[in-house]
Amino acid sequence: MPSIFTKIIEGEIPGRFVWKDDRCVAFLSINPLRPGHTLVVPRDEVDHWLDLPEDLLSHLTRVAQSIGRAMDKAYSPVKVGLMLAGLEVPHVHFHVVPISGVNDLDFSNADPNPRQEDLEEAAASLRKALGDLGFREVIE
């Protein structure tokens, strides 16, 4: 059975995409830890990051770094956090989050009901920053 992320990638469930390429996508979390919280997800359904082929792991890391640079530009956080937990969905995904402290990566602080307008604004900010940085994988 396809994961929820595969359904988002295939357009069966809506997602706020900020990046698409032939190997992965990036879209906003529906339960953000902080504004701009983005998930980088491979198109291939792989449950555990330890099972990723090295070249795909490297690609996902490069994309996460690109998203992080856009977050740095859009939000000016203290740091951009990167986390791989993998417990909530059986499909590898990198959490990229603009943070001011380690507590910003605590999933118990996730927003269970973010305003749709806030998610749209965050997606627009990241798309603009990615475009300004010259990335052509940005989704308009």
Q: Of 37, 59, 93, 95, which is the active-site residue?
A: 93
Confirm whether 92 is domain-assigned. yes
Q: With 0.85 as the threshold, say if the pTM is over it.
A: yes
Q: What is the pLDDT of residue 20?
A: 97
Does the active-site annotation cover 93? yes
pLDDT in tens, the chain (140 residues): 899 999 999 999 999 999 999 999 999 999 999 999 999 999 999 999 999 999 999 999 999 999 999 999 999 999 999 999 888 899 999 999 999 999 999 999 999 999 999 999 999 999 999 999 999 888 76
Give me the number of domains the chain comprises: 1
Number of Cβ within 10 Å of residue 122's Cβ equals: 25
Residue 108 φ then ψ, to 5°: -70, -15
Residues of the domain holding 47: 4-132
CATH number assigned to the domain comprising residue 33: 3.30.428.10
Instruction: Return the closest-CA partner of residue 91 out of 51, 120, 122, 55.
Output: 51
Confirm whether 82 is domain-assigned. yes
